[in-house]
Chain A
Amino acid sequence: MADLRCTIGGIRSPNPFWLASAPPTDKEYNVRRALEAGWGGVVWKTLGEDPPVVNVSSRYGAVSYNGQRMAGLNNIELITDRPLATNLAEIKRVKRDFPDRAMVVSLMVPCVEASWKAILPLVEQTGCDGIELNFGCPHGMSERNMGAAVGQVPDYVEMVTRWCKQNTRMPVIVKLTPNITNILMPARAALAGGADAVSLINTVQSVTGVDLDAMTPLPAVDGQGTHGGYCGPAVKPIALRMLGDIARDPVMRGLPISGMGGVSGWRDAAEFIAMGASGVQVCTAAMHHGFRIVTEMIDGLSHWMDGKGHASLESFRGLANRNYVQWGELNINFKTIAKIDPSLCIGCGKCYIACEDTSHQSIAKLPGRVYEVIDAECVGCNLCAHVCPVDDCITMVPQAATGPKLTWGEHPNNPHRSAAETVS
């Protein structure tokens, strides 16, 4: 049985599945249910200064795709709308009853040192394991110069992180916003400020849709809409990329990462960890299915690890990140070609029309709805394999190497190729 224990910035948990700071971790009642269900830890819903914020009615928008509900979820909620003292008392009680679970408290107060100095000791008294700085909330709070408004300015990230490190002995996790051009900037700033870990991604600024009758953006509040934060399965690719960028950055080597954004099952978690995360956080999947979904995540991950012979998370952490490179490092001499298995083909023609209309005219349509790849024309783009509705019917077959590895840096077509290369 694989060992699923995880440590992030000195914070330990029996498994890598934490609930992200959001409605599932909003109060004692939910968090107790979550921990009873088996979650390894929680990041408590972001606390702020009193008086608490006020939320609007109608808060979520969602994107369904081909019958799949909540492929993406958008929210316009703010931080906790309950008094600080209430939250702190509850955190303390829950941590006392679940000492083995990670209890991290998410914080967001105004960008002045006094505010942070005031709240940190109160939080410390709960006995929690660490804090997460919410520099990511992309709506509402950012209009009040908090959340993403801080996270988008690396200097502020560094400054606030440093204030926290100076004013508490608790580990500090800095939660990053994806609403930024280069994720490395705030991440490096967090490191410079002394962060013990970073977590990412917070939600992506978004409008889920438009009500064409009422002509309002969604979700709508009394006939108007505002942008919100997008999360769930749809954002996973964005999260993986940002996570991978940080994990491979030489400056940040060794900085622990708590990964999130679209983790819906064990496989996503394994991918995040393989990309360099030490653990994951989950929000939408719990909001979609309830807390017991963690049992499937734990079970799936440990079976997969057993099957692969990974005794602990560390044994595969970052393995895929080693192969995550810049485009310019890819081998241009590598070639892969699509191959259709006629015994599986059902004749839907989707590969043909996709390649014919939008790719390289590399699939021949023979009489009787027989489709065949024209090897000489195929550029190995994978499109046909993606559109084919039959599993394993189209496979991409790597071709025997025709020469040594050749990168763009060395390619004759590259006008800036390295001087060391001989001109052919």
Chain B
Amino acid sequence: MGETIQAPGLRIACGRLDAGTLAANFADAHPPLSDSQARIEADRCYYCYDAPCIEACPTGIDIPSFIAKIADGNLRGSAETILSANIFGGACARVCPTEILCEQACVRTAQESKPVTIGLLQRHATDFLMHRGLHPFARAPETGRHVAVVGAGPAGLSCAHRLAMLGHRVTVYEARPKAGGLNEYGVAAYKLAGDFAQDELDFILRIGGITILHDRRLGRDVTLASLRATHDAVFLGLGHQAVRVLSLSPEPLAGVMDAVGFIEGLRQTAKSGVAVGARVVVVGGGNTAIDAAMQAKRLGASEVTIAYRRGAEHMSATGFEQDWARRSGIRIRTWCAPKALLGEGGSVSAILFEDGGDGPLVEPADMVLLAVGQLFDATPLQEGLAPAIAQGRIVVDAHGLTSLPMVYAGGDCTPGTDLTVSAVQDGKVAALSIHAALTGSV
């Protein structure tokens, strides 16, 4: 354990670990395959007919085809196969929960509980192309059409890239100073190690025809009505901009944060400058809870506990992620719903549960991270004519069309699974629909 530079009275601190340990802790969690490992792994693929893995990939990547190309030594062709279905093939190779997607469906899972490591192979092929600074696609001739994309997350950028490829001009309105959405601000640092999100962004923009306007927020700097007036179509890829609040103490206590904010902070700061408690309790049962706990541990917290109000089987975090957390020394307490936070001198000191589940009723804590859900925030759309919202999300049809003509939406702000890969698919589908609508081709 490194030096604790602890201000008096403050139990959360920066620099609990030395720089080398921090760097190692936040390096690539799943290192890339070497060429020979990739060839051996690629040879494990049976090149299935009507391959179940393709069906299980939300973007429908032709997995047997890209793997056969790796086995054949055609890495460039392999990367093109991947990226033609999913321009975020590089990020998805790193962040997809493959254990519930393609790799779960892989016939080798049924055969020997050991799927072809599709994600790692996908990374091998896309890295090959991206490391060489190559962009595999060219734009179709300019159509003269102009589309507004709101939100530069995976959904928005996937939509923008496909539209640009088809010859349309795209302007992306992004509220934040950096593009990338949760790839830049949310996903665990050790999944997208280094500056991968920005490298991939550069790679995607190399198609041309896309302009990103930063610090341009819908609802503040532009309105949906103005965008509709000045563009041929609008795509909304707003993501979740709000978190569910859990009010556990009458007055604000230092050391209590929402987990998404905690992660955002650590994604944007040198790790030595991120404060973390010695005893951290994360409230929640999803992948955000796991990510927050894992990163708190990697910052040097000595005890990290995930407290979930129901059983392990009810957690939305995948079994793989739960196991990984346990193996990383994180305690997962189930059946303990938080009741109140206890404070001491304005800082949190413990969390009290309604029912202890498999532990004591009071868990001492100097940091409590709340990961009880992210929500879509419809406020930016509230001015003027707004698309229909149901159950807290923008209503879309199978083509991504909202209730408003030529206004499309996708990603976390629409119904469906909240995964990077699903957002990419939504953006792609919407782009194809917009293209069809703009060119009259169906």
Q: Which residues does chain A contribute within 8 Å of B111, judged by CB atoms?
A: 346, 389-390
Tell me, in angstroms, the Cα distance from A348 to B107 when the chains sit together: 6
Among A353, A365, A369, the one with the most B-chain Cβ atoms within 10 Å of its Cβ is A369
Q: Which residues does chain A contribute within 8 Å of B397, judged by CB atoms?
A: none
The reply to whether A350 and B48 contact each other, CB–CB distance below 8 Å, is yes
Tell me, in angstroms, the Cα distance from A347 to B108 when the chains sit together: 10
Among B43, B107, B110, the one with the most A-chain Cβ atoms within 10 Å of its Cβ is B107
Query: Which chain B residue has the least Cβ–Cβ distance from A351?
Result: B49
Count A-side interface residues using an 8 Å CB cutoff. Answer: 13
Q: Which residues does chain A contribute within 8 Å of B364, judged by CB atoms?
A: none
The reply to whether B43 and A348 contact each other, CB–CB distance below 8 Å, is no
- Contacts A369-B50, A369-B52 hold; do A347 and B107 have CB atoms under 8 A apart? yes
Q: Which residues does chain A contribute within 8 Å of B39, judged by CB atoms?
A: 67
What is the minimal beta-carbon distance from B202 to any residue of chain A, in angstroms? 31
The reply to whether A349 and B40 contact each other, CB–CB distance below 8 Å, is no
Q: Which residues does chain A contribute within 8 Å of B43, judged by CB atoms?
A: 66-67
Q: Which residues does chain B contribute within 8 Å of A352, judged by CB atoms?
A: 49-50
What is the minimal beta-carbon distance from A188 to any residue of chain B, in angstroms? 45
Q: Which residues does chain A contribute within 8 Å of B40, judged by CB atoms?
A: 67
Count B-side interface residues using an 8 Å CB cutoff. Answer: 15
Which residues 47-73 of B sit at the A interface, judged by CB distance below 8 A? Answer: 47-52, 71
Per-residue B-contact encoding for A373-412, CB less than 8 Å = 1, 0 else: 0000000000000000110000000000000000000000
Tell me, in angstroms, the Cα distance from A348 to B47 when the chains sit together: 8
Per-residue A-contact encoding for B86-117, CB less than 8 Å = 1, 0 else: 00000000000000000000011011000000
Q: Which residues does chain A contribute within 8 Å of B47, judged by CB atoms?
A: 350
Q: Which residues does chain B contribute within 8 Å of A66, judged by CB atoms?
A: 43, 71
The reply to whether A350 and B49 contact each other, CB–CB distance below 8 Å, is yes
The reply to whether B110 and A349 contact each other, CB–CB distance below 8 Å, is no
The reply to whether B46 and A347 contact each other, CB–CB distance below 8 Å, is no
Q: Which residues does chain A contribute within 8 Å of B50, judged by CB atoms?
A: 349, 352-353, 365, 369
Which residues 334-368 of A sit at the B interface, judged by CB distance below 8 A? Answer: 346-350, 352-353, 365
What is the minimal beta-carbon distance from A27 to any residue of chain B, in angstroms? 34
Q: Which residues does chain A contribute within 8 Å of B52, judged by CB atoms?
A: 347, 369
What is the minimal beta-carbon distance from A346 to any residue of chain B, in angstroms? 4
Per-residue A-contact encoding for B301-333, CB less than 8 Å = 1, 0 else: 000000000000000000000000000000000
Which residues 122-139 of B sit at the A interface, judged by CB distance below 8 A? Answer: none
Q: Which residues does chain A contribute within 8 Å of B48, judged by CB atoms?
A: 347-350
Tell me, in angstroms, the Cα distance from A271 to B43 when the chains sit together: 29
Tell me, in angstroms, the Cα distance from A365 to B48 when the chains sit together: 14
- Contacts A66-B43, A67-B39, A67-B43 hold; do A353 and B49 have CB atoms under 8 A apart? yes
Q: Which residues does chain A contribute within 8 Å of B108, judged by CB atoms?
A: 346
Tell me, in angstroms, the Cα distance from A201 to B296 when the chains sit together: 67
Tell me, in angstroms, the Cα distance from A346 to B109 when the chains sit together: 9
Tell me, in angstroms, the Cα distance from A350 to B47 when the chains sit together: 8
Tell me, in angstroms, the Cα distance from A349 to B50 when the chains sit together: 7
What is the minimal beta-carbon distance from A369 to any residue of chain B, in angstroms? 7
What is the minimal beta-carbon distance from A138 to any residue of chain B, in angstroms? 30
Tell me, in angstroms, the Cα distance from A348 to B52 when the chains sit together: 8
Tell me, in angstroms, the Cα distance from A352 to B111 when the chains sit together: 18
Tell me, in angstroms, the Cα distance from A347 to B52 when the chains sit together: 8
Query: Which chain A residue has the least Cβ–Cβ distance from B71?
Result: A66
Binding site for A on B (CB under 8 A): 39-40, 43, 46-52, 71, 107-108, 110-111
Extra contacts, 12 of them, besides A347-B110, A350-B47, A369-B52 (Cβ < 8 A), are A66-B71, A67-B43, A346-B107, A346-B110, A348-B46, A348-B107, A349-B48, A350-B46, A350-B48, A352-B49, A365-B50, A390-B111
Selected A-B contacts with CB under 8 Å, 19 pairs: A66-B43, A66-B71, A67-B43, A346-B111, A347-B48, A347-B107, A348-B48, A348-B49, A348-B51, A349-B48, A349-B49, A349-B50, A350-B46, A350-B47, A352-B49, A353-B49, A369-B50, A389-B46, A390-B111
